Structure 1
Amino acid sequence: MTEFQVFGDFQEKLQGHSHEFLILGISDNSITTQKQWQKNGLSADFVAAYLATFLPLKQEELENKKLRKRIQESVNYIANELLENAMKFNDRKFPHPIKFELHLLKDENLKIFMKTKNNISYETLEHFRTFIKDFISSDPDEFYLRQLERTDDEYTSGLGFISIKNDYFAKLGWKFEKIEQEPLAIAATTMVQLEYGSYGSSNL
């Protein structure tokens, strides 16, 4: 593969007049799957609660309270989906921790970025690229129905990504990069962007 490949709405540089961020490193150790999912849920809860403290909304106003809650619930769901996906496909041959990032940018609009980065095998890369190309080029509703019939295939279902796009009107992007040659190590970064207009009216 080339040194890196980018698909969808992936932004290398995040810019805004005000920028708050949180970065977590999560070890993918040998604990049970149930414990791993529990850890993902706790991490997503923490990320959503952390974000809420920085939202530029007046808490005493009812509509802003509702919006704050909706943003927090959206971030919680998406963070959990991203973490579960990163854990599921992480290549455990390499000791690198899974990396999660949350970025809150305040400009004309309010933008929230979430990213996960993990190692994947070359086989997973090939299946993932095929899924992404189909995902990007297809009608969202038709693609969802088609994928429902393929949930037995762990590489092609991708229902979490479909839900993020269809239910939360989020933008998604991916970057694959070669970080080691021998043995071949490939890092996959998934990015999700939510945008809210004028801090108050949501595009969601």
Structure 2
Amino acid sequence: MGHRMQTFGNFIDKFPPEQDSLELTFTPTSVPLKKRWRNNRLSAYFIADYFTTFLPLDDSQIEEQKRIHESKSAVSYVANELLENAMKYNYEEAHSQIKFGVHFLQNSSLIAVVFASNSVTVNNQKKLENFIHKLQNNDPENLYIEHLEKNALEEDQCSGLGILTIINDYNGEIGWKFEKMSSQNHDSFFLVTTMVQIEV
């Protein structure tokens, strides 16, 4: 199996080995769809809850308690959004696992890096790449309003509203990595990793 790689936006490919992280792996075909959606929210809450244990904050202090709560809420929203998208657009014919998790970076500020990896068809990769280019060349707030209006008029299956909410409401920095995969057993497909960095 061979592959070619391409990145967009703010994507971190290698993390410092001394930094904390947590990763979950799903085999999407092993669980019925309805149960899978319930599991997504539980997984997002678990990731967010676990992440707060990395924070060098004292939960006995009121101000820091508030910050922990806000951090947990932000990580939970981002994690749920990324995991739902990974499940929704996953190309099951590829028989590849979905990976999902969080890294904790502590530099001058505290950063949560949430990511999800899944396989997509060539057609869905093109749609996502078009959305990325549109995002890079337009104001996110204007795009958000435009997408809201469009959704009110028609059912848009690939709206990008969740990603725009992450950017506008949580000041998220987003990056993507595409790896084109090919094998003798099935058509080419892409492994896509979506990554969101939010300051907590």
Same fold? TM cut 0.5: yes
What code does the residue aligned with 2:13 have?
Answer: E
**Alignment match of 1:169 (pick from 149, 165, 171):** 171
SS at match of 1:12: coil
Identity %: 37
**Alignment match of 1:186 (pick from 183, 190, 198):** 190
SS at match of 1:144: helix
Larger mean CA deviation between 109-118 and 176-185 belongs to: 176-185
What code does the residue aligned with 1:180 have?
Answer: S
**Partners of 1:185 and 1:122 in 2: how far apart?**
5
Query: Structure 2 stretches of 5 or more lacking a match?
Result: none
Equivalent position of 2:161 in the other structure: 159
**Partners of 1:107 and 1:21 in 2: how far apart?**
15
**Partners of 2:191 and 2:27 in 1: how far apart?**
15
**Partners of 2:85 and 2:181 in 1: how far apart?**
20
Equivalent position of 1:57 in the other structure: 57
Equivalent position of 1:195 in the other structure: 199
SS at match of 2:44: helix
Larger mean CA deviation between 33-42 and 159-168 belongs to: 33-42
Equivalent position of 2:10 in the other structure: 9
**How well do the aligned residues superpose, as a CA RMSD in angstroms?**
1.7
Count of residue correspondences: 193
SS at match of 2:92: coil
Larger mean CA deviation between 85-94 and 48-57 belongs to: 48-57
Moved over 6 A (4+): none
Superposed, 1:35-46 pairs within 5 Å as 35-46=35-46
- C-alpha displacement at 1:184, in angstroms? 1.0
**Partners of 1:91 and 1:150 in 2: how far apart?**
26
* More helix as a share of residues: 2
Query: Structure 1 stretches of 5 or more lacking a match?
Result: 197-204
Contact 2:47–2:101 (CA under 8 A) maintained in structure 1: no
What code does the residue aligned with 2:138 have?
Answer: S
Equivalent position of 1:131 in the other structure: 131
